[in-house]
A = this chain, B = another copy of it.
Amino acid sequence: MQKCVYFFAKDEADGSSKMRNLLGGKGADLAEMANLGIRVPPGFTISTEVCTYYNEKGEYPAGLDGQIKENLKKLETATGKKFGDADNPLLVSVRSGARVSMPGMMDTVLNLGLTDKSVEGIVRRVTNPRFAFDSYRRLLQMFGNVVLKIPGEKFEETIDRKKEEKDVKDDIELTIDDLKQLIEEFKRIVKEETGDDFPQDAVKQLAMAIEAVFNSWNNKRAIEYRRIHNIPNHWGTAVNVQVMVFGNMGSDSGTGVGFTRDPATGEKKMYGEYLLNAQGEDVVAGIRTPRPISRLKDEMPEVYEELEGITQRLEKHYRDIQDFEFTIEKGTLYILQTRSGKRTAQAAVKVAHDMVKEGLISKKKAILRIDAAQIEKLLHPRIDPDARVEVLAKGLPASPGAAAGIVVFDADSAVRFVNKGEKVILVRRETSPEDIHGMAVAQGILTSRGGMTSHAAVVARGMGKPCIAGCEAIKVDEAKAMFTVNGVVFKEGDYITIDGSLGQVIKGQVSTIEPKLGEEFKELLGWADEVRVMGVRANADTPDDARIAREMGAEGIGLCRTEHMFFGEERLPYVQRMILSESDDKRRKALEKLEPIQKEDFKGILKEMQGLPVIIRLLDPPLHEFLPNHDELLVEITKLKVQNGDEKEIEKKEKLLRRIEDLRETNPMLGHRGCRLGITFPEIYHMQVRAIFEAAAELTREGVNVLPEVMIPLVMEDKEFSLLKEDVVGIAKEVMEKEGVDFKYKVGTMIELPRAALCADKIAKVADFFSFGTNDLTQTTFGFSRDDAEGKFLHVYLEKKILRDDPFQVLDQEGVGQLVAMGTERGKKANPNLEVGICGEHGGEPSSVKFCYYNGLDYVSCSPYRVPIARIAAAQAKLEQE
């Protein structure tokens, strides 16, 4: 006969933690603790195979009943109590437990074994008889609902009526008599709804409860949960039947929770709280304040010592912080549960580091222990966790970090206040190139419109400043220099704080904490570097960014965007003149003014990154992004006309408006941008390429080792790339000859359109490197405009679980990932020397970094502060494969 039931009690368990598939997570862990000699409330686990059998055949495997009875006997022996006994009854809980946790999805029944008679037996044994009746009341309610499928409202309404009648607010205020009346009413409900009496036979109760839990594997919400989390239906759940222990049997009883180390700081000392003469739910009810666990040492020194010994043993056994629950029943300590403890990013780093030093885990294990996504929190200024905050509104978390300052509503005011020594937050409906000088001096930016790729968001991320975009709850009136939120008015000079990581606008000036790489963290990152083979670069547009990138451990620049350089105060006029030129000649003249400025930009970055590669992307955004706002100009002209304004002025402005309208596009994301600018206005790229190579030449002469790599954006076809590459190579040759120097360089392309990935073999034959621009690739593969999707429908897709993650945060491996894999494979096959990386924002997201490693990419590139995340994730990817 097949073994269906697995017993566990201190020092005696049929199972172990290796038997998760058979016993479920909970069953396996209880068995493991029992094997370690830890006192758990004894019990037994009915295996998942029984569930599978039952689901298939509609009946239990032969012999199950006998095995259950046998194990019940063992429980009676272990506890000295008797199941269904009127005097000293054994009470048990019945809980589900699948291979992986499905919290709250399946059913649980507590206090089984209570009957009209046995409840009196309990009353005689506990200090608080009210508890016995309440437990029976709960059994009736839970059993009625879960097992007998009686709608929960029936019971709830009865309780509500009773409370009304007694004029009390909380259940806890009901007296023993009230509870007794409720018990009678509940029994009546059961009879009414099912036609049968509530079973006064404990064995029958148990059998019915077990069947109900097995059936709950196929309830609607469990099926839905499995669909979303890709859990196979055939796994089934185990059922755990476990003796109930009580912490409210007097002052020698109690209950508590704790951690083996401080989950906030990682400090090595037991941490937690407890209550004497109480059950878990008393803690939840919040009537009594729990005590810090150190007090237990005084109150029950032996128990404390035992607890400390056990939990340290558990930590050593599991080699990780443990989060444990315990109950003391009449001086006897039971461990109810232990699991790996949740911790802050700071604690995670410290614990992983310390455990290596303590010899508890290997360096590799320490790396794998870090939740790479979580450590981002350590890498930006953040709101002081101890500060009191009042959140005014929530917008899109467009650029991470926190900052406080007085609100200003235009760029000039920003500069004025900053010159007076104030810190400012620039608040606008949306920003435009004309606001750049204000953004440059502000601590952070808040806009009421625009998405994750709006001007404000992109520029702020580029500048490394916190930004909240699309915060629609805020009504900005720029003319009156004020905004209102939920009826409250904020005027120029009022303080706010923004948390760009969470998208929260906070009232007043809240203190923030600066990020730094602590020594322990640096050591950990060093271990990660020893392991990983995939490179990590940074996206950086300025020498300052480049410096931070190096500090964070970047091995090069994977993406230096040149358009941000065009927005500078001294440059924008030339850029606009260049765009508005009506002849090639005038355009060239404007470009001549820009060239020396660009050269200095490139010198700065190349010098900062000496010895490391720097990928510089040629101009990418559509030209109209550099021009004044269309609607504002239209309003201005209309006003001038109605008021019979100066005709020359009107004419000039109308000409500008027409040019803006000419350049305006229906779908700029898919429009005249990227290398399409290079194809149609070759002189723009020529200027940039010349500036790059002249910078490289001058530095080479100064003895600086430069490795410039020119990247052509938005390529969709090899012929397009070849045409543009020809010019780059020509200019490189020309500059090197003219300057009499020689340096190495590469010419490559972004792969950010599906067609480029599909035709990667052809492009690879002529390119030195690929860099996957997964932001745009995600937009085109999904047909999602990020600006529009994030404000308008993406949240619904996430709520309805059509998408598990925002594909702009986490690389969509199923769809976009196919193109990344295909592009890499085809590219490397066609050109074995091809260097392949990724420079979309996914380059700093751990699961995406791992995907890149598994698909053969040579490096990932991300914003400087995410470089440590990528270093960890890249190391983890390697280790997970081993």
Contacts and interface: CB of A to CB of B under 8 A. Distances in A.
A671 B667 CA distance: 10
Interface stretch (A213-221, A547-555, A713-721): A713-721
A802 B723 contact: yes
Interface in A769-805: 776, 779-785, 787-789, 792-793, 796-797, 800-803
Contacts of A716: 782-783, 815
A754 B807 CA distance: 15
Contacts of A639: 638, 642
A785 B816 CA distance: 20
B667 A668 contact: yes
B642 A800 contact: no
Contacts of A782: 716, 753, 755
A793 B679 contact: yes
A635 interface: yes
Contacts of A638: 634-635, 638-639, 642
Contacts of A473: none
A666 B781 contact: no
Contacts of A812: 755
B634 A793 contact: no
A373 interface: no
Interface in A201-218: none
A871 interface: no
Contact of A783 (B670, B679, B759, B784): B670
A797 B716 CA distance: 12
Contact of A787 (B666, B719, B754): B666
Given A631-B634, A679-B793, A758 B719 contact: no
Contact of A671 (B752, B780, B785): B785
B666 A785 contact: yes
A77 interface: no
A672 B758 contact: no
A789 B720 CA distance: 15
A665 interface: yes
B755 A672 contact: no
A818 B826 CA distance: 14
A780 B754 contact: yes
Contacts of A50: none
A755 B789 CA distance: 16
A28 interface: no
A676 interface: yes
Most B C-beta atoms less than 10 A away, residue of A631, A796, A815: A815
Interface string A353-393: 00000000000000000000000000000000000000000
A680 interface: yes
B755 A796 contact: no
B720 A802 contact: yes
22 contacts: A635-B635, A635-B638, A638-B639, A665-B785, A665-B787, A666-B785, A666-B787, A667-B669, A667-B785, A670-B779, A670-B780, A671-B788, A672-B788, A676-B793, A680-B796, A753-B781, A754-B780, A755-B781, A755-B782, A755-B812, A758-B818, A780-B781
Interface of A: 451, 631, 634-635, 638-639, 642-643, 665-672, 676, 679-680, 714, 716-717, 719-720, 723, 752-755, 758-759, 776, 779-785, 787-789, 792-793, 796-797, 800-803, 812, 814-816, 818-819
Given A754-B819, A780-B783, 5 more contacts: A634-B635, A671-B785, A755-B782, A758-B815, A759-B815
